[in-house]
Structure 1
């Protein structure tokens, strides 16, 4: 049922992509904002209580509905699973940004590409060249695909089923919503949400990196993962981008990210002591890297689907 649920949800999303501003997502955003306003009294414990409350409000009804559907009919339970996966997947939510940036760069319209990238990443893209635009688009695509697709796959395949998929996506959103806004940065309230998502995403992030390595350049991906992932401030993002970049032969990350916590060596010094290079190996991202990213993501998706199919067969035969 896991494989069929994901397969049909992916097919439905290809036919009718769910908008990023749909009412379901809007309702969860409003709930998160209300919980923050009601619970936030400046203590980390208040954030923990708010996080647990949000999860209980969403997960208990999800499991109850699934249990009722399973009692009535397996087909009804399958339909509920498909609906939940369709709502939690985001394979096509932001693909229009990536495609539009690729088309703009191919046509030489760097201004349009910068504007689209700024809207997508919510970062200042003023003055960025083609290489930087391409690099940031690739990075955003890899991280978004992991959090909107592969992380959902993993938790949906766990015993919680549809509740696991919802838990993952909501935990990812709360980690952002309660830490990134200006009035919540460095506030104790959001620390638990960030820590909870770190552990929830610990295994999925590494499985995504392994998938990128398997379907790409395995040796370079593993080398980059082992030697450069720690240079990103966010460990999970570092693992995904270093492995993804290595798999495609690309050098991802800004100079600051790649040099984080690493002393700057003398540029004139010759590396004869076995010290690792300051920046990951690989080429600078170009417009062609965008197409390479599409291929890597689709191959990784097919690998995940194959593994889920084998898992479903194993459960069925068992």
Structure 2
């Protein structure tokens, strides 16, 4: 059921791409904002209470609906899983972003490429050249492919029913919504997502290594990942950079000056050709995970 649920959700998402602004996600974010207004006194313990109040009821309802439908018919439970995966995944978001930026760079239209990068990823791109745009696009593509595709798939495979994708997506949304606060309210949301993403991030990084240049990916993972501020992101980016044979990270020009970032990867500087290579890496990784899950299901059936 896991394999066919994933295939169905991916086909549905390709036919009718989902969005961060779909009504279900927007409803949850509105609920999270209400909890923040009620709980936020600047203390970490109130942030913990708000996180629990945001996540646990949704998990309970999701699990209850799944097991209720399963008791009526496994087919109904399968449909529920497909709906949950469709709402929590976003493969088309990743591929569409790459296509638009890649086409703008191919046509030599730097203003359009900057506009696409700023609109799609919220990056201040006015001072960026073509190599910097390609570099940031690859970095964000690797992170987004993990958060919107592989993190969801791995969570779905690890936890029963549809609990994994829901837990992963809610934790990721709260991490994005509540981090960066001047007080301690959002500290737990950031820490909780780091813990929940610990295993998926490493499994995604290993998948990039298997489907790309394994030796360079493992070397960059071991030698460079720890230098990145967010360790889970550093592992994904270092492994992806090594697998592609491209240099990521490094300083960026911004309106206020240069922003220093550690260097990741080995090989050549990023350009529009590496954008296509990154898309290929993600597709190969997706096929790898689907084949692995199919083999596990076949083993389960024969067992």
In which range does the TM-score fall when normalised by the shorter chain?
over 0.9
Question: Does residue 232 of structure 1 match 2:228?
Answer: yes
The separation in 1 between residues aligned to 2:187 and 2:179, in whole angstroms, is 8
Higher strand share: 2
The separation in 2 between residues aligned to 1:122 and 1:93, in whole angstroms, is 14
Query: Among residues 185, 191, 196, which one is paired with 2:187 in the alignment?
Result: 191
Q: Report how many aligned residue pairs link the two structures.
A: 295
Question: Does residue 250 of structure 1 match 2:235?
Answer: no
Give SS of 1:257's match: coil
| Alignment correspondent of 2:299 | 314
Shift of 1:50: 0.8
Question: Does residue 286 of structure 1 match 2:286?
Answer: no
1:288-303 equivalent positions in 2, closer than 5 A? 288-303=273-288
The separation in 2 between residues aligned to 1:69 and 1:25, in whole angstroms, is 23
| Root mean square deviation of aligned Cα | 1.2
1:121-200 equivalent positions in 2, closer than 5 A? 121-180=121-180, 184=181, 186-200=182-196
Shift of 1:281: 2.2
| Alignment correspondent of 2:197 | 201
| Structure 1: 5+ residue stretches without partners | 260-278
| Alignment correspondent of 2:55 | 55
Check the 8 A contact 1:35/1:50 in 2, yes or no: yes
The separation in 2 between residues aligned to 1:158 and 1:105, in whole angstroms, is 39
Shift of 1:94: 4.4
Give SS of 1:251's match: strand
Runs of 4 or more off by more than 6 Å in structure 1?
none
- Give deviations 1:7-40, integer Å, cap 9, x for gaps: 1100111111113311111101101111111111
TM-score by length of 2: 0.94
Shift of 1:314: 2.4
Shift of 1:175: 0.8
| Structure 2: 5+ residue stretches without partners | 252-259
| Alignment correspondent of 1:73 | 73
Check the 8 A contact 1:89/1:149 in 2, yes or no: yes
| Alignment correspondent of 1:265 | none
Check the 8 A contact 2:245/2:265 in 1, yes or no: no
| Greater Rg over alpha carbons, structure | 1
Give SS of 1:188's match: coil
| Alignment correspondent of 1:38 | 38
Shift of 1:316: 2.1
| Alignment correspondent of 2:15 | 15
- Give deviations 1:136-190, integer Å, cap 9, x for gaps: 000010000000010101111123331111110110110110014xxx2x42111
Give SS of 1:187's match: coil
The separation in 1 between residues aligned to 2:204 and 2:98, in whole angstroms, is 20
Check the 8 A contact 2:201/2:236 in 1, yes or no: yes
The separation in 1 between residues aligned to 2:24 and 2:36, in whole angstroms, is 19
Shift of 1:98: 1.9
The separation in 2 between residues aligned to 1:26 and 1:145, in whole angstroms, is 21
TM-score by length of 1: 0.90
Shift of 1:258: 1.1
Residues 129-138 or 118-127, more deviating: 118-127
Check the 8 A contact 1:179/1:187 in 2, yes or no: no
The separation in 1 between residues aligned to 2:221 and 2:234, in whole angstroms, is 8
